[in-house]
Structure 1
Amino acid sequence: MFAKGQTVIQYMEQLAPKHVAVPDDKIGLQLGSLHKNIEKVLVTLDVNEEVVDEAISLGAELIIAHHPIIYRPLSHLQTDTPMGKVYEKLIKHDIAVYVAHTNLDVTEGGMNDWMAEALGIENPAPLEDTHTDQLFKLVVFVPKSHHQQVLDAILNSGAGAIGNYTHCSFNIEGVGTFVPQEGTNPFIGEQGKMERVEEFRIETIVPQSIRNKVVQAMLKAHPYEEVAYDLYPMDLKGRSFGLGRVGKLKEPVRLSEFIERVKSGLDVPFVRVVGDLNREIKKAAVLGGSGRSYWKHALYRGADVLVTGDIDYHSAQDALMAGLMIVDPGHNAEKIMRPRVASWLQQKLQDNRYDTKVIASEVNTEPFQFL
């Protein structure tokens, strides 16, 4: 059985929730339709004509990309322009394009965590907080016979985390009343008759990032036809999400050694470097993509070096004078997301018994040549 397009994206948004994206970022479905079976998904950093040809040759019905194919409003759609040809091919071959951009950067276990792991940064924290998870109090009423079943479903789906404690909940036993009306099919009771049922009131904490997942798990485990539950927004702050990562290295290394780690970990042949090659690095920051605006954040967080792309001349000069080293592996270093997303999504589909295949693109979308 192949997954519907909407199902594939539901799983993708468990990895990269849309609500953690930077405001006004161009994410989500950008072209085509998800209302179809998906036999193959192609994961890519960029979408150009070569990537579209790859998708066509593989028989992929869906492309998941990191960089948007429509970033600015289109004033026209001419098919005799380079990008117009790409849109035309996608439409003619019924290939949908879905974009996970800054939400994939920001999310835990996403782009910047993968890059930090590749560079040996331990216990990485966001370089700049961009989103704090809204917390909700979930309250649900469940018959005594199914109390443990529903409680386990809620807590095992991620609810109930407070600090370093998990599976936190409060449970009160009481009596629930209801009268099933005409057209109902009650789990307990009869139509038109008042029922008094021994029930438990379950209370727990749910962060916004997994709210839908928790509610769906609760509803699936609950025996009632109509489930009585409430979600109350709370003033307490949940986890913070943000762009980039910063943290200490396991052991100090010289910049020259760290450069080789960057080249190897991010699979890049060359890097641009700002700073003394013999200087020692204890703490490093990384930000996938274009991070020239974030060198001051790295300096403020105590980093010795910032790894990011698209550093301009004057930012490099300013960082050098301020004492911050920079390693620029280029924007295309974000290609680290291709096998990671493909592997994560494939496992999720397999776990749910779908035959849909997820493939990491092999097209090199690096626009620069290094001579």
Structure 2
Amino acid sequence: MTKTANGQFIISLLESFAPKKLAVEGDPIGLQVGSLNKSVHKVMIALDVLESVVDEAIQEGIDLIIAHHPLLYRPLKKIDTAAPQGRVIEKLIKNDITVYAAHTNLDVTAPGVNDWLSSALQLQQTEVLLPTYEEQIIKLSVYVPSTHAEAVRQAIGNAGAGHIGNYSNCTFSSNGMGTFMPLEGTNPYLGEKDKLEKAEEVKIESILPLKLKNQVLSAMKKAHPYEEVAYDIFPLLNKGSELGIGKIGVLEKEMTIEEFAEHVKKAFGIKNVRVIIGHDHSIKKVAVVGGDGNKYIFPAARNGADVLVTGDIYYHNAHDAQAEGLTIVDAGHHIEKIMKKELKLVLENELAMRKYGTAVIESKIVTEPFTFM
């Protein structure tokens, strides 16, 4: 039996994947129009909230639009329903369609927009181009009878604990003797009420990002046989995973600039790119930043990129790139449309795991404003 999800619940799933704290300061993410306090039968993932996208949402019976680019990027002084933006807001309110924006938090999270772009380019050995956030790491120690140690170990690993570099399910175990006395009102797995019990137990230790604490603890308790689970959580000074804007990695094989431009067009399903040629050697190391890449020319150059794939490069910044010996492939801001398919898959999976029947669709409207003639 499937259930219909509440708007707040859907956004809680989204924000567990792309927390607000990851957003660049001043980015107007979050609820933009409408209310989340309602049942949501159908969600649409969109890159932009244009009037044509809202008309599509009305036709599709959408309750919630999750967009990458905020509809309300600057504060409004008035809502004039005769003007284009006011007309969009009016349609949304009249048709009870809520709009929520996940912008730079969706860029920074992992996997996020820039991971999806780098995967489309088939980059290997990728790292963050410009770190903006470091995940806090915690340590979990749980005491479990030896008969259930493997089940608990697998449960916390499957929930995300134990990732160290490119290794998963990393744990350490030590054996010992646990003691406990069940009191009135208990229903113990082992032992009798008011009698001290001894049990051979295993202490399982693992590390995990703080953001996964609740889901790891939930999985641990579900797999653990005890009515009351004994466990400890410690904050660590270990360096966690770095998150940030953009990715940088290497191609499987070197390409000429001409070959790489064709590779970009094929990867993103586009017909044209602008190329700023900063050198005459082949392309091996590639930086990618979805959206406006003007601020990331120097980070790409400092990190040894041969080329930066991005959008919206300004004329004078193109000269700066050439002076740095950096080639740029301006593939357009619209390559971020990749988030529609990928975020749809994320939300569909999260909802299905919890047996919710809320449908998630991609907007089919093309919001690319540029036409090459």
| Aligned counterpart in structure 2 of residue 263 of structure 1, from 262, 265, 273 | 265
| 1:28 paired residue number | 30
Structure 1 117/215 Cα, relative in aligned 2: closer, same or farther at 3 Å? same
Structure 2 distance, partners of 1:120, 1:145, is 44
Q: What is the CA deviation profile of residues 163-208 of structure 1, one whole-angstrom value per residue up to 9, with x for unaligned ones?
A: 34432223343324355466x66666788x4654535443221112
Q: Closer, same or farther in 2 for the Cα pair 1:91/1:54, shift >3 Å?
A: same
Q: Which residue is equivalent to 2:177? A: 174
Match of 2:247 in 1: 245
| Paired residue type of 1:41 | V
**Distance in 2 between residues matched to 1:228 and 1:165, nearest whole Å:** 27
The answer to whether the Cα contact below 8 Å between 2:65 and 2:99 also exists between their aligned partners in 1 is yes
> Is contact 1:288–1:334 with CA below 8 Å preserved after alignment?
yes
Whether contact under 8 Å (1:126, 1:246) holds in the other structure is: yes
Quote the Cα distance in structure 1 between the aligned partners of 2:37 and 2:116: 31
Cα distance in 2 for partners of 1:31, 1:126 equals 33
Query: What's the offset of the Cα at 1:317?
Result: 0.8
The answer to whether residue 292 in structure 2 is matched with residue 311 in structure 1 is no
The correspondence of residues 197-212 of structure 1 with structure 2, limited to 5 A, is: 198=199, 199-212=201-214
Assess, with a 3 A threshold, how the Cα gap between structure 1 residues 79 and 282 changes in structure 2: closer, same or farther.
same
Supply the AA of the counterpart residue of 1:166. Answer: S
CA RMSD, Structure 1 to Structure 2 (Å): 2.7
Aligned partner of 2:84 in structure 1 is 82
Q: 129-138 or 21-30: which moved more?
A: 21-30
Give unmatched runs, 5+ long, in structure 2: none
Deviation at 1:250, TM superposition (A): 1.6
In structure 2, what residue type is equivalent to 1:69?
L
In 2, Cα distance between the equivalents of 1:90 and 1:226? 49
Alignment check: 8 A CA contact 1:43 1:358 kept:
yes
Residues in 2 aligned to 1:362 and 1:81: alpha-carbon distance in whole angstroms: 24
Structure 1 alignment gaps of length 5 or more: none
1:62 aligns with 2:64: yes
Residues 255, 277 of structure 1: 8 Å contact kept = no
**Aligned counterpart for 1:51 among listed residues 33, 50, 53:** 53
> In 1, Cα distance between the equivalents of 2:94 and 2:192?
55
Distance 1:79 1:195, change over 3 A: farther
> Shift in Å at residue 22 of structure 1?
3.0
- The normalised TM-score by structure 2 is 0.88
Percentage of pairs with the same residue: 49
CA distance in 2, matches of 1:102, 1:303: 22
User: How many residues of Structure 1 are paired with residues of Structure 2 in the alignment?
Assistant: 369
Question: Residues of 2 paired with 1:35 and 1:197: CA distance?
Answer: 50
TM-score (normalizing by structure 1)? 0.88
Contact 1:154 1:217 survives alignment (8 Å): yes
Q: For residue 132 of structure 1, what is the amino acid of its counterpart?
A: E
User: Contact 2:114–2:289 at 8 Å: present in 1 too?
Assistant: yes
1:64 shift after superposition = 1.4
SS of 2:298's partner is helix
Deviation for aligned residue 1:46: 0.9
Give the aligned partner of residue 284 of structure 1: 286
SS of 2:90's equivalent in the other structure is helix
Query: Contact 1:254 / 1:277 at 8 angstroms: preserved in 2?
Result: no
Partner of 2:138: 136
| Residue identity in the other structure for 1:258 | F
Mark the CA change 1:115 to 1:364 in structure 2 (over 3 Å): closer, same or farther: same
Amino acid at match of 1:243: I
Residue 105 of structure 2, aligned match among 87, 103, 122: 103
Once the two structures are overlaid, the 10-residue window that deviates more, 34-43 or 216-225, is 216-225
Displacement after TM superposition at 1:290 (Å): 0.6
Matched-pair contact (CA < 8 Å) for 1:180–1:189: no
Alpha-carbon distance, 1:61 to partner: 1.3
Between the aligned partners of 2:69 and 2:36, the Cα distance in structure 1 is 19
Q: Give the superposition deviation at 1:75.
A: 4.4
Aligned positions of 1:296-307 closer than 5 A: 296-307=298-309
- The secondary structure found in structure 1 opposite 2:238 is strand
Q: 3-state SS of the aligned residue for 1:261?
A: helix
Moved more, 142-151 or 129-138: 142-151
What is the one-letter code of the residue matched to 2:210?
Q
1 CA distance for matches of 2:264 and 2:152? 46
